[in-house]
Amino acid sequence: MEIIDLRHFGAAELRPLLMEEARLWAQRMSWDYSGSAEMILRYLDSKILPGYTAVEDGRVVGYSFFVYEGSKGVVGDMFTSAQSNHGLGERLLNHVAETLQNSPGIHRIEAQLLLHDSGSTVAAFVRRGFRRFPRLFMSLPLRPVPGFRAPEIKGFSLRPWAEQDFQPGANVIMQAYAGHVDSEINDQYRSTAGSLRFLNNIVRFPGCGTFDPASSFTAIHTATRTMVGMLLCSRVREDVGHVTQVCLLPEYRNRGLARAMIAACLRSLLERKFTELSLTVTQANHNAVSLYERLGFHTRRIFDAFVWEG
């Protein structure tokens, strides 16, 4: 078994492995990963994606890649074939973590590997000083409900996400996550500029499905006409939605706004014959987990987020 720089290989060598990975995304999370897989394959052919491959008898049986974002490194993915040796994923992640920790100017590393069960990738990260944050992948089967309506909240209105919402949305995200565990996992939430980059990635790029404006809403305080919260949803399969962001300013929580935004999202999806809605939430965010459970979401998988700061 050899571990070789990912940039020595192109799409032709990695395609069978990524198609195997796409089948696992469909099985475990009901996601159509083919679009993401094709995007990765295009990057592979352009030789600009840093990472490692595991090669056995001339065949690529595993890979992992990462990206640099200023002084931060982000582990993008890791996957090994079902036919590969046990422990291969740990070897790949060891190479990735070591490379990033020894890259000049890198002071922070983030990793969220949704495809891998909680605990399965701990060794490679924790031994290098990473902090671990268990997260839940939750889903809700969608069934038609006659006369279903989103509840109305006095003094507030919901409207679809619009192009002019980026800047106020970034401000809401930064304030909503101040001192919150999720700002430890994703440091983009700590600044307006970072939150704006996050929104651009979610809305304008297909990394986490295709943004679905019809099921994405902002909560507006009627008297001041200011945004106080948002729910963003993407389409991850033709009939499956995924909530990519839901947040409220702290002073407007516990008023039913989160429930109202989720209900509005559900109504839009149901009207278009979607069959499932999923989301991810940090396990330590007990209030959010409790709300989702009351709404009928169930935990389908638990995975880990990891963070290193040096």
Architecture of the structural domain at 143-274: 3-Layer(aba) Sandwich (3.40)
Residues 6+ apart with CB under 8 A from 238: 32
Helix (H) or strand (E) holding 131: strand 131-141
Tokens encoding 309: 């700061």
Does residue 4 sit in helix, strand or coil? Answer: strand
Residues 6+ apart with CB under 8 A from 298: 138, 139, 140
Phi-psi region of 70 (alpha: psi -120 to 50; beta: other; left: phi over 0): left
Give the residue among 287, 244, 294, 282 at the shortest CA–CA distance from 265. Answer: 244
**Chain-centroid distance, C-alpha 197:** 14
Dihedral sign from CA coordinates of 25, 26, 31, 32: positive
Residue with tokens 């994606």: 49
Per-residue pLDDT of the chain (310 residues; tens, 9 = 90+): 899 999 999 999 999 999 999 999 999 999 999 999 999 999 999 999 999 999 999 999 999 999 999 999 999 999 999 988 888 999 999 999 999 999 999 999 999 999 999 999 999 999 999 999 999 999 999 987 766 666 778 999 999 999 999 999 999 999 999 999 999 999 999 999 999 999 999 999 877 799 999 999 999 999 999 999 999 999 999 999 999 999 999 999 999 999 999 999 999 999 999 999 999 999 999 999 999 999 999 999 999 999 999 9
Query: Half-sphere exposure (CA, 13 Å, Cβ side) for 240?
Result: 18
Count of H-run helices and E-run strands, the chain:
9, 13
Rounded Cα–Cα distance for residues 89 and 117 (Å)? 12
Residue with tokens 């008023």: 255
Rounded Cα–Cα distance for residues 256 and 271 (Å)? 22
**Domain spans of the chain?**
2-134, 143-274
Tokens encoding 303: 């995975």
CB contact at 8 A, 237 and 202: no
- Residue 86: the pLDDT is 82
Question: Facing residues of 51 across strands?
Answer: 65
pTM of the model: 0.94
Q: What CATH number matches the domain at 2-134, 3.40.718.10, 2.40.128.260, 3.40.630.30, 3.90.440.10?
A: 3.40.630.30
Tokens encoding 283: 């396990």
Rounded Cα–Cα distance for residues 9 and 285 (Å)? 41
